[in-house]
Amino acid sequence: MAFRKFLPMFDRVLVERLAAETVTKGGIMLPEKSQGKVLQATVVAVGPGAANKDGKVTPVSVQVGEKVLLPEYGGTKVILDDKDYYLFRDADILGKYID
Amino acid sequence: MAFRKFLPMFDRVLVERLAAETVTKGGIMLPEKSQGKVLQATVVAVGPGAANKDGKVTPVSVQVGEKVLLPEYGGTKVILDDKDYYLFRDADILGKYID
Amino acid sequence: MAFRKFLPMFDRVLVERLAAETVTKGGIMLPEKSQGKVLQATVVAVGPGAANKDGKVTPVSVQVGEKVLLPEYGGTKVILDDKDYYLFRDADILGKYID
Amino acid sequence: MAFRKFLPMFDRVLVERLAAETVTKGGIMLPEKSQGKVLQATVVAVGPGAANKDGKVTPVSVQVGEKVLLPEYGGTKVILDDKDYYLFRDADILGKYID
Amino acid sequence: MAFRKFLPMFDRVLVERLAAETVTKGGIMLPEKSQGKVLQATVVAVGPGAANKDGKVTPVSVQVGEKVLLPEYGGTKVILDDKDYYLFRDADILGKYID
Amino acid sequence: MAFRKFLPMFDRVLVERLAAETVTKGGIMLPEKSQGKVLQATVVAVGPGAANKDGKVTPVSVQVGEKVLLPEYGGTKVILDDKDYYLFRDADILGKYID
Amino acid sequence: MAFRKFLPMFDRVLVERLAAETVTKGGIMLPEKSQGKVLQATVVAVGPGAANKDGKVTPVSVQVGEKVLLPEYGGTKVILDDKDYYLFRDADILGKYID
């Protein structure tokens, strides 16, 4: 499945988790097992938004490139070009980091 | 049941899963059992869309011929002319591939 | 209960399942037990449709005589004049066959 | 409790089940135990209908005297003047027999 | 807690169950244990009705003094001046007796 | 946490339960254990009311100082200045006593 | 993850719990284990509010700097710059302290 562009549907958001921190602040190497799931991610693609029952579309509230905080659970893993991405609903994203 | 044309109802979408990849990128033959369920599919037929409680119909958001990504679970198997197809709700389709 | 005409209520649809195929394509007789439930059916009677909370009625989307595909589960068996019929909600019918 | 007139509330419908058939078509007497629950009934009294959240009342869709088909389950038994009646919601009545 | 007047809130209705019949029609005294729960009651006080989400209040559909039929289950027991009363939602009252 | 004024949010109501009656009408002292939970209470503070999805606020239907009847269960205990108060939703308060 | 500014999404509110009281009023040191979860907190950041299905946004009802009372349960722990914060929905905050 050559990866052409992937467009999430409705209010789904495609994100890529940031690389796990392998070294603690104090410089100690973290074994992979104890590198918990990374909850920070970058938005890679966004859907058009969900339509309400009258067909009016509310766009998603994050944009491509933004850094967001994911919830601990949920999300759907999607493999594109052998890389792991995750689909979340816009409403499930906890917050975003603003420079 | 000779297969005339099949029209899904409401917001249902009829899809045909792509053939499973039987050879890994490295050229290794994959035994059928380990060829997981294929989540990429082609849209074969679409319903008119679902009506909201005021009767206003919101058309489905995929078109015949588009390549879509299916969720891991759900869908109803439909056999037409001895071929396997699957019915999904428009809202359950995760995304589509755009050339 | 002489069977006068039976009018389903609201968005219910009365269907009669097609006869099970007793012979495979290859001509092999199928023992009754292995003749799975027939999911194709003909629409025999339809209700007026369901009213939304403002009383506005949305008619059902199938008509008498149409061939439809039933879901695997659900439906209420109704015996009229010693014949088996089934009541389904309009929204539960998966699709229809168009000549 | 002398039975004056009983008015069901909202969208409830009071019905009286038809007498069970004690003899099969072939003339064989049916022992009481095997006379299943009778699902045909006559409408005895109807409520004014349910109001939607704006207070607009949608009247019930059956009238006193009509023959209706009851669902297998549900309904509330009501004893009036030592006779058994049953209260069903209008929406739960499956259909009606039309002469 | 001297019992001043008690006003039920929203769509609640305060009722007092009728006295249980202690003698059968045939004149046989009924031991208290077998005098089932009395489902007939008199309306003692009514709330103003429930407001829909726009704040519009739909008044309750029973009035003080009316005889009503209670459902088998539900209701909240309220003791006022050492007497047992019961609070029901207007929508849960099955019907009323009309002279 | 010095107790300044506490404002319940939305449609919540802060109440203080009346003191339990320690002596029966007949003058018999009640051991603390058998003094059931007191369901009568005084309203101490009220929230602004809940907004419906259009943002329109429906004020709560009880006022500070009113005597109300609490449901048997529910409510959140809140300790302010070492005194026990309880938060209930306006809709869960059963009724009020009117002089 | 250097902590730039964190913006909660929709109707989420970021709070920091007040320090647990380690000494009782009477001056007795409290062992950490018995210092229950602190339910008072300060609002650190607020989301824009939740949009209703027509897209109209209702702002949250607390502001940065306000002292609020948290429910016993719920909330999502968020670590920013190695400090513990908690995300709550606006609707789940019980009340606020007003000077």
Per-residue pLDDT of chain D (99 residues; tens, 9 = 90+): 444 689 999 999 999 999 887 777 777 777 776 667 789 999 999 999 998 877 788 999 999 999 999 999 999 999 888 899 999 999 999 999 987
List chain C residues with CB under 8 Å of D99. Answer: 4-5
What pLDDT score does C22 carry? 75
Distance from CA of F85 to the nearest CA of E (A): 20
Using alpha carbons, list the distances in angstroms from residue G68 to B77, B94, G24, G25, G63: 52, 39, 22, 22, 10
* Residue A65 pLDDT greater than 80, yes or no: yes
Residue F95 touches partner E, C-beta closer than 8 Å: yes
For residue A33, tell me if it sits in a domain: no
Average pLDDT over residues E55-83: 92
SS3 G77: strand
pLDDT at G3: 47
CA-based nearest residue in chain G for residue A52: G53
CB–CB contacts below 8 A, A to B = 54
Question: Is residue D93 within 8 angstroms of chain C, CB to CB?
Answer: yes
| Contact: E98, D1; criterion CB under 8 Å | no
- Chain F CB contacts of E15 under 8 Å are none
Query: Would D85 be classed as within a structural domain?
Result: yes
Give me the pLDDT at residue A2, please. 47
Q: Is C3 exposed, middle or buried (0-12, 13-18, 19+ CB in 10 A)?
A: exposed
What pLDDT is recorded for position G53? 76
Q: Would you place residue E4 in the very low, low, confident or very high pLDDT band (cuts 50, 70, 90)?
A: low
Q: Express each pLDDT in B54-84 by its tens digit.
A: 778 899 999 999 999 999 999 999 988 889 9
In the block, residue with structure tokens 């948290």 = G70
* Contact indicator for D93, D69 with CB cutoff of 8 Å: yes
Asked if the structure places residue C79 within a domain, the reply is yes
With a cut of 70, say whether residue E3 has pLDDT above it.
no
Indicate the burial class of F79 (C-beta count within 10 angstroms; 0-12, 13-18, 19 or more).
exposed
* Strand blocks (E) in chain C: 5-8, 12-17, 40-46, 50-51, 57-58, 67-69, 76-80, 83-89, 95-98
> Residue E86 domain-assigned?
yes
At G22, the amino acid letter reads T
Tell if the CB–CB gap between D4 and E71 is shorter than 8 Å. Answer: no
Domain that holds residue B89: 2-18+42-96
Query: How many folded domains does chain B comprise?
Result: 1
Residue D52: Cβ-neighbour burial (10 angstroms; 0-12, 13-18, 19+): middle
pLDDT of residue G4: 65
Report residue C80: phi and psi, to 5°: -125, 125
Per-residue pLDDT band for F36 (boundaries 50, 70, 90) equals confident
Q: What's G60's domain CATH number?
A: 2.30.33.40
pTM: 0.84
Whole-angstrom CA distances from D52 to B54, C55, C58, G51 are 14, 9, 17, 25
E28 touches chain F (CB under 8 A): no
How far apart CA B73 and CA B82 sit, in angstroms, is 22
**Measuring CA to CA, how many Å separate G25 from each of A30, D75, F81, G21, G30?**
44, 60, 11, 9, 11
| Residues of E in Cβ contact (< 8 Å) with D76 | 71-72, 94
Burial of A94 (0-12, 13-18, 19+ CB in 10 A): buried
d(CA E63, CA F98) in angstroms, rounded, equals 19
Q: Residue B9 is nearest to which of C58, C61, C72, comparing CB atoms?
A: C61
Residue F97 contacts E, CB cutoff 8 Å: yes
Tokens of C19: 């006869």
Looking at residue C1, its pLDDT comes to 43
Distant-in-sequence, close-in-space partners of A34: CB < 8 Å, separation ≥ 6: none
In a domain, B76, yes or no: yes
| G74 in a structural domain | yes
Answer yes or no: is D63 within a domain: yes
Q: Does D41 touch chain C (CB under 8 A)?
A: no
Cβ-nearest to B51 among C54, C58, C62:
C58
Strand stretches in chain F, DSSP E = 5-8, 12-17, 40-46, 50-51, 57-58, 67-69, 76-80, 83-89, 95-98
Has the ipTM of the complex gone over 0.95? no
First-to-last alpha carbon distance for chain C, in angstroms, is: 36
99 residues of chain G, pLDDT tens digit each = 444 689 999 999 999 999 887 777 777 777 776 667 789 999 999 999 998 877 788 999 999 999 999 999 999 999 888 899 999 999 999 999 987
β-bridge mates for residue E86, sequence order: E15, E77
Q: Is A69 on the interface with G (CB under 8 A)?
A: yes
| C35-53 pLDDT, tens digit each | 677 899 999 999 999 988 7
Residues of chain B with pLDDT > 70, as a percent, come to: 91
Nearest Cα residue in chain E from D45: E95
Q: What mean pLDDT, rounded, does chain F reach?
A: 88
Nearest CA in chain E to F93: E9
